[in-house]
């Protein structure tokens, strides 16, 4: 039931956002369509449902978004700086990163976030190992890799997915 | 008026980053570094342009916000798929002396299995 409600709410919010109106006709039509789609797609759409709707988790989700947006802007400036530098200061390589997260969805979010943050691109995930193309390999030491690439994200993600 | 100025600032920054992304694709030595330039710079480029238009046309704002979220979700997935696909196809990353390629061992083990 909670999974169904989550799917329904998600679709309905997107519908209202895309039509950008609170005209009753649109809102009701959106509710009906969301209801129909959610009734047969909720099983594949989410495994978690409304589990995240507790104040603590919402706080950490917002915190995650802020951490993520700051990293995103930093990443863009970092890449821009490397691109315009005449010397092209890069030292690329693929490193192995061991995550402490166990949940599949958490791992996917971590991998996506790593891809969008400074100088790193996730090539593959196998078990708890992430293979990451790093445009400026500063160290081959696993502890340094962990700290430089994903520690900020992992600390917040652990709170959300526990 | 203020909204318009903010909007034009966002659009300008976005276009600048899109340009830098294109320049990066031109300058980088191999496919993985190019993906880095192509995906990162274009995320902020695309988001900046879209949010800027949201300020210029306030009635579209929520629509554009949803598009921005979808870009932020799909961009890393597509770049990951491209990187993994090119590695499996046999392309290897450009490395300076003493570079590290931890994925090569995994790839070799997989090829031996086949």
Contact B20 A122 (CB under 8 A): no
pLDDT at B90 over 80: no
pLDDT in tens, A20-48: 777 888 888 888 988 888 888 877 777 77
Residues A74, A115 within the same domain = yes
* Alpha carbon distance A152, A67 (integer Å): 8
* A78 and A108 part of one domain: yes
d(CA A94, CA A89): 17
Q: A–B: how many Cβ contacts below 8 A?
A: 128
Looking at the structure, tell me whether residues A102 and A71 fall in a common domain. yes
The minimum CA-CA distance between B114 and chain A, rounded to whole Å, is 18
Nearest Cα residue in chain A from B93: A93
Note the helical H segments in A46-150: 55-84, 104-115, 142-149
Cα–Cα nearest to B17, from A160, A54, A81, A147: A81
The CA distance from B46 to B43, in Å, is 5
- B103 touching chain A per CB within 8 A: yes
Whether A76 and A109 share a structural domain: yes
| Residue that has been written with the tokens 């315009």 in this structure | A84
> B33 and A72: CB-CB below 8 Å?
no
- Per the listing, tokens 């759409």 go with A45
Residues A112 and A156 in one domain: yes
Do A78 and A155 have their domain in common? Answer: yes
Answer yes or no: are the C-beta atoms of A63 and A102 closer than 8 Å: no
**Are A10 and A77 within one domain?**
no
Query: CA torsion sign, B69 to B73 to B76 to B81?
Result: negative
A84-125 pLDDT tens trace = 877 777 778 888 888 887 788 888 888 888 888 767 888 888
Query: Are residues A44 and A59 located together in one domain of the fold?
Result: no
Angstrom distance (rounded) from CA A108 to CA A129: 12
Q: What is the pLDDT of residues A47-60, one digit of tens each?
A: 776 667 777 888 88
Within 8 A by CB and 6+ apart from A41, the residues are: A7
Q: Number of folded domains in chain A?
A: 2
Q: How confident is the model at residue A75 (pLDDT cuts 50, 70, 90)?
A: confident
Residue bearing tokens 């209801």: A35
* Band of pLDDT at residue A157, cut at 50, 70 and 90: confident
Q: Are residues A41 and A68 in the same domain?
A: no
Q: Looking at mean pLDDT, say which of A72-76, A147-151, B50-54 comes out highest.
A: B50-54
Q: How far is B24 from chain A (nearest CA, A)?
A: 5
Residues A15 and A93 in one domain: no
Q: What is the pLDDT of residues B71-89, one digit of tens each?
A: 888 888 888 888 888 888 8
Asked if B95 reaches chain A (Cβ–Cβ under 8 Å), the answer is yes
Residue B41 has pLDDT above 80, yes or no: no
Domain span at residue A30 reads 2-51
Which tokens belong to A104? Answer: 């599949």
Interface test with A, best of B36, B69, B78, B86 (most A CBs within 10 A): B36
The model's pTM is 0.79
């Amino acid at each position: 039931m909670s999974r169904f409600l989550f799917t329904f709410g998600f679709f309905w919010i997107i519908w209202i956002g895309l039509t950008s109106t609170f005209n009753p006709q649109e809102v009701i039509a959106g509710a009906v369509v969301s209801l129909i789609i959610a009734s047969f797609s909720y099983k594949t759409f989410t495994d978690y449902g409304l589990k995240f709707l507790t104040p603590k988790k919402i706080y950490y989700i917002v915190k995650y978004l802020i951490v993520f947006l700051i990293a995103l802007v930093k990443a863009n400036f970092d890449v821009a700086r490397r691109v315009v530098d005449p010397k092209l200061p890069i030292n690329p390589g693929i490193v192995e990163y061991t995550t402490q997260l166990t949940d599949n969805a958490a791992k996917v979010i971590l991998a996506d976030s790593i891809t969008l943050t400074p100088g790193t691109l996730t090539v593959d995930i196998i078990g708890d190992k992430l293979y990451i193309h790093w445009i400026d390999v500063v160290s081959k030491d696993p502890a340094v890799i962990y700290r430089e690439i994903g520690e900020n994200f992992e600390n917040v993600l652990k709170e959300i997915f526990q | 008026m203020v909204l318009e100025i903010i909007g034009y600032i966002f659009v300008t920054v976005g276009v600048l980053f899109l340009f830098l992304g294109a320049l990066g694709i031109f300058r980088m030595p191999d496919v993985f570094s190019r993906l880095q330039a192509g995906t990162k710079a274009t995320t902020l480029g695309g988001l900046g342009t879209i949010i800027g238009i949201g300020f210029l046309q306030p009635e579209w704002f929520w629509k554009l916000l949803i598009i921005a979220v979808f870009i932020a979700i799909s961009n890393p997935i597509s770049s990951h798929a491209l990187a993994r696909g090119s590695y499996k196809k046999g392309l290897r990353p450009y490395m300076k002396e003493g570079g590290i390629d931890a994925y090569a061992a995994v790839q070799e083990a997989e090829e031996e299995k086949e």
